[in-house]
Amino acid sequence: MLVSGKDTSGASAAENEQRFVGKSIDVPKANSHAKRMPTAPANLFLEGNFAPLRHEFNLAKTRQFEIRGKVPRDLNGSFYRNGPNPQFEPGPFYHWFLGDGMLHAFHLQRGEVSYLNRYVATPTLELERRAGRNLFLGQRTNMLANLQLVGGNLISLISGLIRDKNADAYTRLIAKANTSVLAFREELFALVESSPPIRLQPTTLASEGFEKFDAGFMAPFTAHPKTDPQTGYLYAFGYRVAGGPRLEYYVINPHGKLVSRTAVETDYAAMIHDFAITRNYAVVPVFPAVTSLASIRRGRIAEWQPEKGASVIVMNKDGDTASLRRFELPVGYVYHYANAYEDGKAIVVDAIRYERVPLMGSDTEIRAELFEQANNGYLTRFRIDLASGKTETQVLHSEHYAEFPVIDPRLVGEKYEHSFAASASGNNSSAAGIFDGQVSYELSRGKVKADIHDFPRGHFGGEPIFVPTGKPGERKGYLLNLIYSTEDNRSYLAVFDVAKPDKKPLCEIWLPHRVPYGFHGTWRQHRN
């Protein structure tokens, strides 16, 4: 089988300057790209299916896939998945969160399938291609002193430090765009929380530059913005590692214009990965994962400092600072929120909560968290009483470690009953993968029912994506999960009937190669 692409792992600087012209090559034999890079030190995030994939593929015809089962003809759209994928060998302090972004796309139309993957063309990616080597990842260097990386942006960087007391110009230079992908309006964006979004062509994944939201925008921007399904407005925030303001809250109208930008001070510089919205409020929890330039140079975005306490910021969704209130929370950490909604004079927020921030320790500590269940995340409910100022925390389900919760996107900010997440049983003791199943939660009348579907042994997935086909709130549609098989050393897109989460997939779309473990995806429905 022939695919279109080019391997850049050993390419010269001149070759790396070119943009993958689509020459046909054979699929790499024995999947050699699954092995750890030859000179890399022991590092979990460079091993097995965490290791990078250096090829960009084009699979344009259904016959180029191995399809088990039948692709539903009413599944018409594109499934996107983003993740870190360093193009060059990183330094000894490399962390999973720091790799170059790579987008994978499955385009589905009336039973036909095509696939491609592309690096996100960030300034860092292009600069490193010209240099022919890694300039930033895990090097423990003084980032501001790395003139190769700063280059012609040195003047704007210095002026930003003097004028605004922050390094927003630098966020564009270190934009890895490796965490999430957003379909907003008719456009597609690759996201990482340190930097502005990068706009992509939805079909070809060609990078089209930073999104300015018709307002000259240049600042950190969360990987988890929220689209209000009722109004079409997009809500987001950005936090800063250094300089001020430490936190900003953004409102973008349905036409893609930034209409509100609110500065919010926090008690310390916190890594705030996600937030939630309700019909009337924005809810931004602040947990004591404290971030700094020094911690990033050590290969960790944040350091756990529980003595600093935790809180949640609640304000009107339009960004009115006069409405801002703060409430205390028990110390813990949340990467991802399932949803939030208003219940009388209270706000209910559902999330995956940890006792402490995970993935920020040593390699040994991270392995224990991921493969020995040392710091599990569980579905947890926060209840914020706006009248009394009190907060309550309740673990809803703790049978399996869970992450990446998702819901019907048409119910964001509204009361809901169904959520889906990746799950880990703890039965796989090797470091081959983390999530060996997925869980479907039914939340109604204060009770939680969990249907857990375990994948075949040696198969590991990630964040499921719910594609609804019924009315909002109905458990009708498809659940999509990108799964890696250790035995085959390949990945496949599994399509499940969401009403039968414990059954086998309706179909499996197998690639001739693997897809490294990544983070978040989305579904973009095709217009008829």
Tell which residue, 200, 202, 205, 196, has the closest CA to residue 225: 196
**Which residues of the chain carry a pLDDT beneath 70?**
1-41, 136-170, 297, 299, 428-430, 528
Residue pair 510/67 in contact (Cβ under 8 Å)? The answer is yes
Instruction: Return phi, psi of residue 151, to 5°.
Output: 50, -135
Instruction: Look up tokens 């944040």; give the residue.
Output: 302
DSSP letter for each residue of 333-387: EEEEEEEEEEETTEEEEEEEEESS--S-S-HHHHHHHHHS-SS--EEEEEEEETT
Closest CA to 204 of 181, 223, 191, 188: 188
Single-letter residue type at 35? K
Helix H or strand E encompassing 13: helix 13-17
Locate 439 and state its tokens.
Answer: 């869980």
Assigned token pair, 34: 């699954």
Question: For residue 10, what are its two tokens?
Answer: 């050993």
Per the annotation, binding residues are 224, 273, 336, 520
CB contact burial 216-232 (16+ within 10 A = b; e otherwise): ebbbbbbbbbbbbeeee
Cut 0.85: pTM above it: yes
The single residue listed with the structure tokens 């969401």 is: 498
CA angle, residues 120, 123, 128, in degrees to nearest 5: 90
Cα–Cα distance between 353 and 395 in angstroms, integer?
Answer: 9
Looking at residue 227, what is its pLDDT?
98
Domain residues of the chain, as ranges? 2-525
pLDDT of residue 136: 65
Inter-residue contact 85 to 178 (CB < 8 Å): yes
Q: What is the pLDDT of residue 294?
A: 75
Cα distance between residue 251 and residue 132, in whole Å? 39
DSSP secondary structure of 104-150? EEEEEETTEEEEEEEE---HHHHHHHHHTS-SSTT----GGG-HHHH
Binding site membership for Fe cation: which residues?
224, 273, 336, 520
Q: Which phi and psi (to 5°) does residue 183 adopt?
A: -100, 110
CATH of the domain spanning 2-525, picked from 2.120.10.30, 1.20.58.110, 3.30.450.40, 3.40.50.2300 = 2.120.10.30
